[in-house]
Structure formats: structure tokens, C-alpha cells
Amino acid sequence: MDIKFNKNEDHNKLLLSDLKKRLVKVKLGGGEKSIEKHKAKGKMTARERVNYLLDPKAKSIEIGAFAGEGMYEQYGGCPSGGVVVKMGYVKGKQCIVVANDATVKAGAWFPITGKKNLRAQEIAIENRLPIIYLVDSAGVFLPMQDEIFPDKEHFGRIFRNNAIMSSMGITQIAAIMGSCVAGGAYLPIMSDEAIIVDKTGSIFLAGSYLVKAAIGETIDNETLGGATTHCEISGVTDYKAKDDKDALDKIKNLVDKIGDFDKAGYNRAESKKPKENPDDIYGILPKSRADQYDMKEIIKRLVDNSEFDEYKEDYGKTIITAYARIEGWAVGIVANQRKLVKNAKGEMQFGGVIYNDSADKATRFIANCNQKKIPLVFLQDVTGFMVGSKSEHSGIIKDGAKMVNAVSNSVVPKFTIILGNSYGAGNYAMCGKAYDPRLIAAWPSAELAVMSGNSAAKVLLQIETASLKKRGEKITKEKEAELFNKIKSRYDDQVSPYYAASRIWTDGVIDPLDTRTWISMGIEAANHAPIEKPFNMGVLQV
């Protein structure tokens, strides 16, 4: 091991340590005092409910753990978007579980809560996965109702999705484990089956105070919409549970009897661990996002037996295209090569940049994977497409458009891991969030933006200094340096992987060593949903 490897390793392990500290904080939800008050009511926390429901010792992944981080600080924040979402196994069946965290503003829905719930439903719809709702929510967060209530991607879309999933035959089970009011009352009742916890669960369109104000009727919440009312009088709910664990046990029993699913038929062999040590990733991945490295060394530590078959190895070298297996699943890998390479003409090409030949190769490879029904894995460390007169005259826009077209129209499941840079159109071509990856995750080393903080700061500095000069201000070197640092600092905050994760531009920030689990569970989920249309690139043929 050389000194550079050791420095990289130290840096990346510090990033990993920061990730773990952030996760510890996030898992406290509304904080220890809120948790104590919640438990005093005889209720389990959202995370305890999810963990009890999921099969012990089975793998699981959390979606959107950092949703809402750094947002809504004027209201005290909204850790994890006030809802816990996990993909895991219940009685051996892969499911999505969504649990309101009532320790965060009584489980109220912020704008990011709605976005995260819709993302959970999107995963269930795309993969035909059963979805389980553990409901404990005060409804829409009223100070922000205009940002969560009326639009297409707002609160009401949840119930539309309930109906769509029902028509698709996707199992939905809900447990009312606390408050469930107003429009939110439709979610559990639009599910296939609804369980309500006696004395702690309640469901109604309007609570007792609003009923009194609206029609003058005096009634308590339990009589209005408790478990006895809805299991014995209204028939709104299907099962009464004595406590949280009883409700969760009932869900387990219901899931246990779900029939098998039609499979997409993705190829899987016996899983094998990488021969090369995955821990080496921390030393290979450079500390600086500008430094070069060999992406093939990363791939060797992600794929089974550290083996892959490279497609067009000596052509379009700034993108690696290869067939491999991850935990037994056959995959097609599209990865940005991050070291300087030489093309057939003897010209040097910058790592991380997409050139004409690289785009052409990637397009052909994506088409091949669709032809052979092989899921695609994108490993992003991309600065963008090559610019300049030579590239423009060679038709880089045309070749880039073909690659974007292939990614857009791909019918096999796609999975995206952002290792380092994810800038500009490179993010799009390498299957960024806008291109419907089934799962998208970032390593702590990732950066997502239109361009790097350094480049953006230089551009913005030119604009700022020109504006100041027009107003007659003199710009000294010291003043210019001060402005540059201020602009870069602000921009750097926005390229952070946590900034992206807080807004659900990615599904999470993960330890690089968890990458194989994310991709494997993602393909297993995708195998629930047979491909329903042929691959077709339209007028942009290869």
C-alpha cells in the first residue's frame, strides 16, 4: 500500500464516520423527549414497529433516511421527512414498509413527507411489491398546506396511487396505530385490508373539536372513530388489535398467505463474494474529486468473484461497459472510467468525460442489455460531455442524444450508484434521478450539481465582479478572493450528497460496502414485474 492509498483511505473512512453519525441522529426522530412521550402512550416508535415487522437477520435497505435534513428549520426540522421507509422481507416476502413517525410533529405531513411517501409508492408500483402502511399521523402540516395539499405530486396523489395499485393487484395492508384524520383517513381504507389498534388508533374525517365547531355535536374521539366503532359499528376497518405488536403480528399472518408472483426472469446464479477485498475501495477512491483513478479496480470489488467481461474494451475508453454478476444476478455495468486514456488516434482523453466514441459504445451496450433482458447498473463519476470545436464538429450532441435516448427508453430495470462527480448532462446520460432508476444511491464521496463548486464559483465570480464594477466599485485581488470563497462555500453546500438526499434526488447516502446489497435487493424487487413493452428508441436509431 502506498501513501496515497492510505491518505485516500483515511479521508473516505472519515466520510463514512460522518455518515454513521448522521444516521444515529436521524434515527432519533423528534428527539428523546418526544420518544418518551410517545412510548408513555403504550406505543412503539416507527422504527421499532418496522424492525419488529421485518424478518430478523434478513437484509433490508432504508429509503430516504436523510429526507428533510436541513429543511424546515423554522419549524424545528423534519428528520427523515417524518416517515420511515424500508424495503425488506416479511415472512420471506419482499415488501415496502412505510411508517409515520409520530415523534416528529405528531407525524404531520410536510412537503418532503409527501414526496417520500410518493417515492415509496413509486417503488411498489414499478416493482409490483406489496406495500404496508403503519399509520400514525396528525395529517397535513397546516402552516405549509399550500405546498402539500393541491398539486399533482402532493398529498392527494397518495390516494390516487392507492387506487392504481389496487387495480394492478398490488397488495396493500394498513395498520392504524395512532391518529388518522381528514384526507389521510382514505389511505388505510383504500388499502386491501385495514387493522386498527384498540384505544390508541383512531380514524375519522374530522376530530371531536371540529365536529363540535361544525355541527355542534359533543362526542369524544374514541366513540367517534376508535377501534370498537370501526370494527363493530361502521365496518370501516377489518381487524382489531390489542396493541402495536398484535397489529404487526396480524400483518405478518396476512403477508404469509400471499400467493407467488409472476417473475420477469432475470438471470441469477449462485452468489460469490468479490475476490478482491471490497475494503480497498476506501483507498482507491481519491480524496480529491479532480484526481484520476482506475474505475475497473472499483468494479472488481463490487462484482462476484471480481470477474467481468468487458464490451468494446479498446473503443470509447472513457466509459466502461461490461457484463458481470452481483450477488448472483447478471448485470450490465455502465461506468465512467476516471483515468487518462489514449484513443486509437493516439489522442489523450480525460477520465470522467463522455466523448463521441464513449457515448456510441454505451448506447449500443444499453441496447444489447435490453435485447438480452439484463438489468443495468450505472456507476457515476462523470464531469459531463466533451466540449470544444472538435467535439461539436464530430457531433457530440447527436451521440449524446442517442445515449440519453437509450437510457430513457430502456425497459430493463436500471440502478444508479453515484461514486463521485455527477455533473450536468453527464448526470442525465448516466441515468440520474430524472431517468427512472429503480433505485439511486450516493456514496459519501458523491457530488451532484450542474458543475463543480470550483468551476461554478469562477463563473459566478465573473458575473458578480462585472456587476460590482458597473456600480463603480473597485475590485482588489483580496476582494476577489473573498467573493470567490463566499460563492464557492455556498455552492459546495449544494453539491453535498446530503443536500441531494434531503430532497430525495437520491434514495440515500450509503456505505460503499452496502452497494452490492442495494443492487441485489433492487433486482430481486424488479423481478416481481415482468417487462410489458419492447425496447424501442424511436427515430433516434443506433
* 3-state helix/strand/coil string of 501-529: HHCCCCCCECCHHHHHHHHHHHHHHHCCC
What is the three-class DSSP state of 358? Answer: helix
- pLDDT tier at 145 (50, 70, 90 boundaries)? confident
Mean pLDDT of 207-225: 87
- Res 41 pLDDT > 80: yes
Mean pLDDT of 15-22: 98
- Res 533 pLDDT > 80: yes
Mean pLDDT of 248-256: 98
Greater pLDDT, 151 or 459: 151
- Res 541 pLDDT > 60: no
pLDDT for res 360: 95
- pLDDT tier at 183 (50, 70, 90 boundaries)? low
**Rounded to an integer, what distance in angstroms lies between the CA atom of residue 84 and that of residue 363?**
37
- Res 455 pLDDT > 80: no
Mean pLDDT of 261-276: 97
CATH 3.90.226.10 fits 279-446+506-527, yes or no: yes
- Helix (H) / strand (E) element for 187: namely helix 186-189
Mean pLDDT of 358-375: 97
What is the three-class DSSP state of 376? Answer: strand
What is the three-class DSSP state of 331? Answer: strand
What are the tens digits of pLDDT across the range 92-125?
999 999 999 999 999 999 999 999 999 999 999 9
- Res 43 pLDDT > 60: yes
Least confident among 19-23, 428-432, 491-495:
491-495
The fraction of the chain above a pLDDT of 70, given in percent, is: 98
Where helices occur in 93-145 by DSSP H, the ranges are 111-127
- Res 485 pLDDT > 90: no
CATH class belonging to 31-256: alpha beta
Spatial contact of 382 and 419, defined as CB atoms under 8 Å apart: no
- Res 69 pLDDT > 60: yes
pLDDT for res 344: 84
- pLDDT tier at 406 (50, 70, 90 boundaries)? very high
- Res 452 pLDDT > 80: no
- Res 276 pLDDT > 80: yes
Greater pLDDT, 150 or 237: 237
pLDDT for res 209: 82
**Rounded to an integer, what distance in angstroms lies between the CA atom of residue 43 and that of residue 143?**
27
- pLDDT tier at 540 (50, 70, 90 boundaries)? low
**Across the strands, what pairs with 131?**
96, 172
- Res 306 pLDDT > 90: yes
Q: Is the pTM of this model over 0.75?
A: yes
pLDDT for res 292: 93
The segment(s) of the chain belonging to CATH 3.90.226.10 are: 31-256, 279-446+506-527
pLDDT for res 346: 86
DSSP 42: T
pLDDT for res 421: 94
- Res 449 pLDDT > 90: no
**Across the strands, what pairs with 194?**
174
- Res 267 pLDDT > 90: yes
pLDDT for res 253: 98
Measured on CA atoms in the order 424, 428, 431, 435, is the torsion positive or negative?
positive
- pLDDT tier at 206 (50, 70, 90 boundaries)? confident
Distant-in-sequence contacts of 496-499, Cβ < 8 A, 24+ apart: 496/447, 497/418, 497/442, 497/443, 497/444, 497/445, 497/446, 497/447, 497/448, 498/22, 498/66, 498/69, 498/70, 499/70, 499/448
- pLDDT tier at 1 (50, 70, 90 boundaries)? low
pLDDT for res 453: 67
Q: Whole-number mean pLDDT of the chain?
A: 93
**Rounded to an integer, what distance in angstroms lies between the CA atom of residue 250 and that of residue 358?**
53
Contacts of 152 (CB under 8 A, 6+ apart): none
Q: What size, in residues, is the chain?
A: 542
Mean pLDDT of 175-198: 89
Amino acid in position 97:
V
First to last CA, the chain: 44
- pLDDT tier at 464 (50, 70, 90 boundaries)? confident
Mean pLDDT of 423-442: 96
Give the angle 276-278-283 at the CA atoms, nearest 5°. Answer: 100
**Rounded to an integer, what distance in angstroms lies between the CA atom of residue 518 and that of residue 505?**
16
